[in-house]
Structure 1
Amino acid sequence: MIFTGQCRCTAVTYQLDMDALPAIYACHCNSCQTWSGSAFALHALLPADALQVAGPVTQYAYALDGQRSEHQLCAVCHTRISNTTTAAPGLQVLRVGTLDSSPSLQPLAHIWVSRKQPWLTLPEGVPTWPQSPTPEAFAQALTPPAP
């Protein structure tokens, strides 16, 4: 199945060729709030080679709390498309709001809820963590049950 997306100005487009869209999670950390200009950011973890991007991109990198993050942005409108981080080797973090199908998607988990905006109420039964979960707990929460 092909999933497509683009930046705000459409100069950068991308596609994912995957059996299904990976599970989506919401991050409520201060960095995601600042970057998104909102209460949280929606992400999906992809295999590092799953995203094929076309168009003018630029890179932005920084280190925080001992982790290095490298971001891929549209060189025209500066929409963040994805990033890699040393916290998740071999994976790429897709900015879910850039997917063409983003209005129909819901997060399966919430991280960094210790920084969540106090007016935001999260749905009952959705896994949450005050900060970043262990990789094992996160993988379990983002893995759909077997049919």
Structure 2
Amino acid sequence: MGLTGQCRCGQVHLQLQIEALPPIYACHCLNCQRWSGSAFALHMVCPAQAIEASGSMLTYLHEAEEHSSTQYACSKCFTRLFNETDAAPGMRVLRVGVLNGADRLTPLAHIWTKRKQPWISLPEDVAQWPESPTPEDFALAINQQTPKAAK
């Protein structure tokens, strides 16, 4: 399965080569709200080698108490594209909104719901955690669901 995407200005293009659509999740943490300038951010975790990027990018090293991550953004329009974190070596966390056809993708889980905006209603049949779940809990929940396109 091949997916494509780009930054807002079109200078950076992404090609995603994967066998199946990775799980998409919404993060409602304060960092995601502030970085996206919105109520949450949509993410997809996939092997680093599955994402091929062309175009000039900037990097930003973000260090938190427990982990550090390298953020990748377009050097012209500053669209955040993906990041790599020491919490998931060999993986990249892709910003789903940069994908072509992202409007047809639905999150399978919501994390950091204790920080979600009060006006957002979440579907009861979608996995959700008040903070970050353990990798085992997350895998168990998403493996019980199938990634789907929005209706």
TM-score range (shorter-chain normalised) is over 0.9
Q: Which residue of 2 aligns with 1:31?
A: 31
Identify which range, 58-67 or 27-36, moves more after superposition.
Answer: 58-67
SS at structure 2 position matched to 1:49: helix
1:65, CA displacement in angstroms? 2.4
CA RMSD of aligned residues (A): 1.2
Cα deviation, residue 87, structure 1: 1.7
Name the residue aligned to 1:12.
Answer: 12
Q: Deviations over 1:107-145 (max 9, x none)?
A: 000000010111110011111001000000111222255
Query: What's the TM-score once normalised by structure 1's chain length?
Result: 0.95
Tell me if structure 2 keeps the 8 A contact 1:3–1:21. no
CA distance in 2, matches of 1:145, 1:73: 31
**For 1:16-48, what per-residue CA distance to the aligned partner results, in whole angstroms no more than 9, with x for missing partners?**
111222110000000000001111000000012
Amino acid at match of 1:88: A
Q: One-letter code of the match for 1:125?
A: D
Contact 1:70–1:85 (CA under 8 A) maintained in structure 2: yes
- 1:49: how far off? 1.1
Aligned to 2:79: 79
Q: Residue 111 of structure 1 aligns with which residue?
A: 111
Q: Deviations over 1:40-97 (max 9, x none)?
A: 0000000121100000111011111221010110000000110011222221100000
Q: Is the 8 A contact 1:113 1:129 kept in 2?
A: yes
1:96 aligns with 2:86: no
Structure 2: segments with no counterpart, 5+ residues: 147-151
SS in 2 for 1:61: strand
Counterpart for residue 140 of structure 1: 140
Three-state SS of the structure 2 residue aligned to 1:92 is strand
Whether the aligned pair in 2 keeps the contact of 1:9 and 1:77 (CA below 8 Å) is: yes
TM-score between the two structures when normalised by the length of structure 2: 0.93
- The reply to whether residue 56 of structure 1 matches residue 56 of structure 2 is yes
Residues matched between the structures, number: 146
Indicate the larger mover: 36-45 or 13-22: 13-22
For structure 1, the 5+ residue unaligned runs are none
